[in-house]
Structure 1
Amino acid sequence: MESLRFQKLSCSRVRKLSLLLLLCFCSEIWCRGPEDLEQNPAIQRFRTYLRIPTVQPDVDYEEAVEFLLGQAKQIGLSTRRIEFVSKKPILLMTWKGSSEEKLQSVMLNSHMDVVPVEKDKWKYPPFEAHMDENGDIFARGSQDMKVVGMMYLEAIRILKGKGWAPVRDVHVVWVPDEEIGGDDGWGKFYTSREFDELNVGIVLDEGDDSLFNNSYFVNYGEKATWWLVIQAIGVTGHGSIYFDNSASENMFKSIASINAFRDSQKALVRSGEKSPEEVVVVNSVFLKSGSPTPDGFTMNVQPSVVEAGFDLRIPPSKEMADFMNKRIAEEWAPKGRNMSFYFTFKTETKEGAVPTTTPDDSNPWWYLLRMAASKLNATLIPRLQTGGTDSSFVRIRGVDAFGISAIQNVPPLYHDHNEFMNGYEFLRGINMTVEIVDQYGSFSGSLHRVM
């Protein structure tokens, strides 16, 4: 009996000791301070990239390109610089596959540019990459999308360190001007001979942060981006006189109609009748009129021209495109009110629809992406992108594209003040990216049937 009692006590102590060791282990992983992140080479490289101010509208890309070329050299990737427009480089890094067959390649896309900042609205300087006591790294581009590009490179660095090599070519491409529509980046690249020669089968691009553990949002398509400018023309005259159909009067009639439509779309979402992906989003972005003076505007002259700009995001169907084109022409900018309109940017095919990528296991690229997530016990949540990305150009070419930012538990702050990325979540995202590159790069089977 004494012996049995001793064994029970020993087992109890062992369990307690095991629990204590487990708690210590978890504490080491999850309760570390930022000083541990400070010494992490991947974090150091990420913060260095964030400190390069590639800010629109007048971007100097050279410092970013030099940094990225240095990273490619360290990792052992071949590089090529392509420049369709002067001072707007596309940097292509390639890891050659081992297969002698002409397998379609994998492309990992990242844009180098970031949107402007209002420095006085930030807790820390937006290009200092300050890291606080929680490991949050504050910088413009920390979510959109320098983080994703650096995850690509760190994943490849890890795979090369393990001695792994792809069977199909893996390309990492860094492009300019995504934040202003991409005309001089992907807008030139996707129809080029250089792109054709790469034989691309799948492009991964930026997506949305997931607020949940063990899940990743995957964008399989996106709304059409229409940047609409409406112009009203009328007579000019003294500010004390009523004129019928003045430019300002006609413009405000249109704005009233646009706002009524906007309210109806918002109501559909708030009532639960439709999801945000199913409605048209329209937001005013500028209103321009009047005669400027050194200290304001001329107050007794009615403007003869008024312009207003709107950012529209249209669900990707021909029917919706036709509906919105008719509404703009007949209600928002009718010729009968001396109004006209044009688009500074508009994504659609000749048929009017915007193509999407199939997000189920009938698509081998989706299946492989799902297998990568399953290695980390994570699930994929397919969704339609509400914003616009370079993926729109890719899909128009008939190439599959998914938008996935391997980020969890970080609130989405794209284009917002105090944009930040948590360092620990960045490191976890690298692990997910490793699995994706592994699955895509090592697959040599049929693209018509995986299972």
Structure 2
Amino acid sequence: MELKGCRGFAGWYSVLTLCLLSFIYMSSTSASEEDPPSSSSAAIISRFQHYLQINTVQPNPKYHEAADFLLAQAKSLSLESQTIEFVEGKPVVLLKWPGSDPSLPSILLNSHTDVVQVEQHKWTHHPFAAHLDSQGNIYARGSQDMKCVGLQYLEAIRRLKASGFRPLRSVYLSFVPDEEIGGHDGAEKFAKSDIFDDLNVGVVLDEGLASPNEHYRAFYGERSPWSLVIKATGAPGHGSKLYDNSAMENLLKSIESIWRFRASQFDLVKAGLKAEGEVISVNMAFLKAGTPSPTGFVMNLQPSEAEAGFDIRVPPNGDPEALERRIAEEWAPASRNMTFRLGQFKAKVSVLDKSGRPIITATDSTNPWWNLLEEAVRKANGKLGKPEIFPASTDARYFRERGLPAIGFSPMANTPILLHDHNEFLNKDEYLKGIEAYESIIEAYASYVEKASGGDGSRDEL
């Protein structure tokens, strides 16, 4: 390269000096604008957006792309990592932050990588663009359910490592597939595996819900999902004739009965007598009847069959046997030419353990993990509301079935509940505050030393 206008050594020296200063300036400018420090808020939000932009929507999630991203984050934090496929194509990413005393029961931070479907045309912003608006809201499917939690775990560990903290107990992070379709190939197989047994887990944290007020929500149990399909049959005939016990008539009688029961349960919630997670909820998922035609349905033909599907959620303190009797005797009685079937979830998930006791996690002094959570949230300047039963279902149930304490907690205060809704979003400031909450919780859990005398913290009692 020819440098014009330079004379002698002094000229060369001046040009080189200017070039060097220019290079230093451009390098520093580039670093600050394009590659912010990993601990900066901009970098933290950027990583969250990256994770949200990976399309893991059911039924064809890009699981391996998500796994590659998570493994890269683990490498940047010097965490041990492995990928396990209990079912081909559905990886479980398992990370480990080793504790100084591996003999102590470990901490498991669980999250799922898949998200539910979207109706893209009903979103203000693309559901996988992770758009950040002028109010600081990040719009994306999974921003609340539950990619936020998975990344908050990692960011909290990043902060703890930077502070020089070393855990006494080992901390594991599991990123599982399949939760949005039951978790049977993900968390369920993981919880029943020898790999899980070897982790020596003492407590599990999993997802919770956003809170519209200033109090974080925490969950100690959840309702069991039942998928109910009721079928009615009757004589077909001309659309003008008044048949007795037609398929549609009998199905509508059942729907009316179900709706009265639903209203009675909902009245308890609206009156403030029970929380949503404490009642049996029933919602219709589909209604199927009629004879299709090229232009719609045949209007002058009464159908011989009609079906309706219902999503039912049964709380741990509910009476599943009484509910099943109600279905058989009142909602789908054989005397009205009706049958019913309860889907896969009813067969696989129970609200009771093998001893017939509700599957819940203690929220009193018998469970030191609960007390530690309350104190850690306060330490992070957060407020914890009254413990609740989760109104839906999460992977935490599979760990509770193992007899482990499992707490649902997603630190999102002052946030509308938008899981599975259009325009799901989380404000960046709430996301950053949630990282502080997890930093405090992980530090408290990983440092916990069980009492030597009373045995309050023994694993059997937990």
Tell me the TM-score normalized by structure 1.
Answer: 0.86
Residue in 2 that maps onto 1:449: 456
Residue in 2 that maps onto 1:178: 179
- Cα drift, residue 388 of structure 1: 1.0
Q: Which residue type is aligned with residue 378 of structure 2?
A: S
Q: Which residue type is aligned with residue 108 of structure 2?
A: M
Between 376-385 and 217-226, the greater mean CA deviation after superposition: 376-385
Residue in 2 that maps onto 1:383: 388
CA-to-partner distance for each residue in 1:291-328, whole Å, 9 max, x for gaps? 333442233333333221111122212x5222211111
Residue in 1 that maps onto 2:70: 68
- Cα drift, residue 73 of structure 1: 1.2
Residue in 1 that maps onto 2:375: 371
Structure (1 or 2) with the larger CA radius of gyration: 2
Residue in 1 that maps onto 2:87: 85
- Cα drift, residue 38 of structure 1: 10
Residue in 2 that maps onto 1:154: 155
Q: Does 1:430 align with 2:435?
A: yes
Unaligned runs of 5+ in 1: 1-34
CA distance in 1: counterparts of 2:232 and 2:89, whole angstroms: 36
- Cα drift, residue 57 of structure 1: 2.2
CA distance in 2: counterparts of 1:140 and 1:415, whole angstroms: 8
Q: Does 1:310 align with 2:314?
A: no
- Cα drift, residue 39 of structure 1: 6.6
- Cα drift, residue 339 of structure 1: 1.9
- Cα drift, residue 153 of structure 1: 0.6
Alignment length (residue pairs)? 414
- Cα drift, residue 218 of structure 1: 0.8
- Cα drift, residue 338 of structure 1: 2.3
Residue in 1 that maps onto 2:330: 331
Q: Which residue type is aligned with residue 66 of structure 2?
A: A
Residue in 1 that maps onto 2:216: 216
CA gap of 1:259–1:128, structure 2 versus 1, over 3 A, is same
Aligned pairs for 1:98-113 (under 5 A) are: 98-100=100-102, 102-113=103-114
Q: Which residue type is aligned with residue 47 of structure 1?
A: Q
CA distance in 2: counterparts of 1:163 and 1:248, whole angstroms: 68
CA gap of 1:324–1:353, structure 2 versus 1, over 3 A, is farther
- Cα drift, residue 105 of structure 1: 1.1
CA distance in 2: counterparts of 1:239 and 1:137, whole angstroms: 52
- Cα drift, residue 250 of structure 1: 1.6
CA distance in 1: counterparts of 2:300 and 2:142, whole angstroms: 45
CA gap of 1:186–1:304, structure 2 versus 1, over 3 A, is farther
CA-to-partner distance for each residue in 1:340-385, whole Å, 9 max, x for gaps? 2222212314566540000122211112112211212434221111
- Cα drift, residue 223 of structure 1: 1.7
CA distance in 2: counterparts of 1:364 and 1:352, whole angstroms: 24
- Is the 1:96–1:170 Cα contact (8 Å) retained in structure 2? yes
Aligned pairs for 1:213-252 (under 5 A) are: 213=214, 215-252=215-252
- Is the 2:412–2:431 Cα contact (8 Å) retained in structure 1? yes
- Is the 2:54–2:62 Cα contact (8 Å) retained in structure 1? no
CA gap of 1:133–1:289, structure 2 versus 1, over 3 A, is same
Residue 319 of structure 2 aligns to a residue whose secondary structure is: helix
Matching residue within 349, 356, 361 for 2:360: 356
Residue 274 of structure 2 aligns to a residue whose secondary structure is: coil
Residue in 1 that maps onto 2:16: none
CA distance in 2: counterparts of 1:63 and 1:268, whole angstroms: 45
CA-to-partner distance for each residue in 1:166-199, whole Å, 9 max, x for gaps? 1211111111121122122122222222222211
Unaligned runs of 5+ in 2: 1-35
CA distance in 2: counterparts of 1:437 and 1:127, whole angstroms: 30
Residue 69 of structure 1 aligns to a residue whose secondary structure is: helix
CA distance in 1: counterparts of 2:440 and 2:240, whole angstroms: 70
Aligned pairs for 1:136-151 (under 5 A) are: 136-151=137-152
CA-to-partner distance for each residue in 1:183-239, whole Å, 9 max, x for gaps? 2212222222222221111110111223333x3211011122212122223333443
- Is the 1:60–1:87 Cα contact (8 Å) retained in structure 2? no
CA gap of 1:159–1:256, structure 2 versus 1, over 3 A, is same
Matching residue within 37, 56, 59 for 2:58: 56
Q: Which residue type is aligned with residue 297 of structure 2?
A: F
